[in-house]
Amino acid sequence: MIYYASSLLLIGIGLYALIIKKNLIKVLIGLDLIETGANMLIVSIGFVKGGTAPIFSKEWLVPPLFVDAIPQALTLTSIVIGASQLALAAAFVVVLYKHYGTLDIRKIRSLKW
Amino acid sequence: MIRKIVYAIFIGIIIAGVLMFLSAFPFGENKMLVGKYYIENATNDAGAPNVVTAVTLLYRGFDTLGEVMVLFTAALGVSIIFAVEEKKKKVVQPPNFVVRVGSRIVFTFILLTGFYIFMHGHLTPGGGFQGGALIATGFLLLYLSYSDTGINRKRFMVAEGLGGIIYVFIGLIGLFVKGSFLANFLPKGTMFDLLSAGILLPLYIAIGLKVGSEFAGIVDDFMCEARCTGGEG
C-alpha cells in the first residue's frame, strides 16, 4: 500500500513542479518525477504478496509464486524512453538559454502564459 | 495565491482520478491473466530463465524494436538541435588530477561490467538497455576527466547502425524460416548456459550496442555544446 501512496505522492510533487515552478530546469525535474512515479505505480500494480522476481533458478525450476512480469518488461522500456526524452528536453533548454539568456519562463516570450 | 489554490485543486482532481482507477486493482493480490501464461510457458518457448527478458524480446519483440526507434529519434533530435548552433572555443576548468588518474583504471571495468550485463541478459536481471546505459556512463567519465577527449562519431554511428541492422535481420530470418517476425529459429540449448535461449542473446547484444552508442552520442553532443572548437557537432 505504501508503494501506491508514495508513487502518487511523487506524481503529485512532479505535477506541482511542472505547473508552479518558473525555472525550466525545475520543470524538467518535475517531468522526471512524474515519470518515476508512474513507473513505480506500474511495477507496484504487478506486485503479488509473497512473490519473488520472475527469474527461474536451479533450485526453483517449478514456478514458485512470481510477481507479474509484464509491468516489469513495460517499465524496462519506459525508463529508457524517459531518459532519452529527458535528454531531448534538456537540449531544448540549452538552446533556449542561449537564445534568451535566461531560464525564467516568464521572460521567455514564446512560453508566456 | 488564487492561482496556486486552483492548481492545487487541479492536481487533487488528477490524483483522485488515478486513485479511482487504482481501487479496481488492490495491492498485493494476484491479478495475472496474460502474465500467468508467460510465466508458465517462458522456459519452454524461449529457453530463458529470466521471464522479463522473454516477455521483452520474444513475446513483445516488435514493441522493443519500436522502442529502440524512439530512442534513435531522440538521439537524432539532440544532434540536430545542437548542430544548428555555432561552436566556439570556451575556457573550461581543467579536470582534477585524481579524477584523471582514477578514470583510467575505472573505465575498463565499467566497460567490462556493461558487456557482462548485456551478455547475461537472459540469465540474470539486466539486459541490453541497462548494459548500454552503463557503457555510456563510462564514456561520460572519460569526457569529465580529459578536457581534450572526443569519441570518434563515425565509428559510433557504425556500431549504432550495426545494432539496428542485426535486430531487423534476425527478425526477418525468423519471418522466412519460421513464418513470423522475430520467431525463435536458433536452438534453445540447455537452460542456465550462456549460449542458450536462441535469439535472445544476439538480440540483446544488438540492443546493447545500439543503446550504448546512442547514449554515448548524446553525451558527446552535450559535452561538445559546452566546450567544442567547431566543425562537425
CA distances from B7 to A20, B15, B134, B203 (A): 8, 12, 39, 46
Closest to A74 measured CA to CA, from A28, A29, A35, A42: A42
For the residues B130-143, what does the mean pLDDT come to?
Answer: 87
Cell of A86: 529527458
Q: With contacts defined as CB-CB under 8 Å, which chain A residues touch B32?
A: 48, 68
Question: What are the backbone dihedrals phi and psi of residue A60, each rounded to the nearest 5 degrees, phi first?
Answer: -120, 70
Residue B192 clears pLDDT 80, i.e. is over it: no
Q: With contacts defined as CB-CB under 8 Å, which chain B residues touch A76?
A: 52, 56, 127, 129
**Looking at residue B80, what is its pLDDT?**
87
Domain A2-50+67-111: give its CATH code: 1.10.287.3510
SS3 A10: helix
Distance CA B176, CA B199 (A): 15
Q: Do A70 and B55 touch (CB under 8 A)?
A: yes
C-alpha Rg value of chain A to the nearest Å: 19
Distance CA B204, CA B202 (A): 5
Residue B8 clears pLDDT 80, i.e. is over it: yes
Cell of B211: 543503446
Q: With contacts defined as CB-CB under 8 Å, which chain B residues touch A57?
A: 49
Cell of B34: 496474460
Query: Residues near B79 by Cβ (< 8 Å), separated by ≥ 6?
Result: B217, B221, B233
Evaluate whether A111 touches A105 at the Cβ level (below 8 Å).
yes
Which of the four pLDDT bands, split at 50, 70 and 90, describes residue B231?
Answer: very low
Q: Is B175 exposed, middle or buried (0-12, 13-18, 19+ CB in 10 A)?
A: middle
Evaluate whether B131 touches B115 at the Cβ level (below 8 Å).
yes
Residue B164 clears pLDDT 60, i.e. is over it: yes
Cell of B55: 516477455
Model pLDDT for residues B69-121, shown as the tens digit of each residue: 888 899 888 888 887 666 665 666 777 788 888 888 898 999 999 888 888 88
Q: Do A70 and B27 touch (CB under 8 A)?
A: no
Percent of chain B residues topping a pLDDT of 90 = 2
Q: With contacts defined as CB-CB under 8 Å, which chain B residues touch A12?
A: 11, 15
DSSP A66: B
Distance CA A98, CA B172 (A): 45
ipTM value > 0.85: no
Distance CA B180, CA A48 (A): 33
Distance CA B175, CA B221 (A): 37
For the residues A92-109, what does the mean pLDDT come to?
Answer: 82
Least confident of B43-52, B67-76, B97-106, B211-220: B43-52
Closest to A7 measured CA to CA, from A49, A32, A42, A31: A42
* pTM for this prediction: 0.82
Q: Do A66 and B51 touch (CB under 8 A)?
A: yes
**Looking at residue B229, what is its pLDDT?**
55
Q: Does B75 contact chain A (CB < 8 Å)?
A: yes
B11, B73, B80: which to substitute to probe chain A, counting the most A Cβ within 10 Å? B11
Q: Do B27 and A4 touch (CB under 8 A)?
A: yes
The residue written with cell numbers 481501487 in the block is: B23
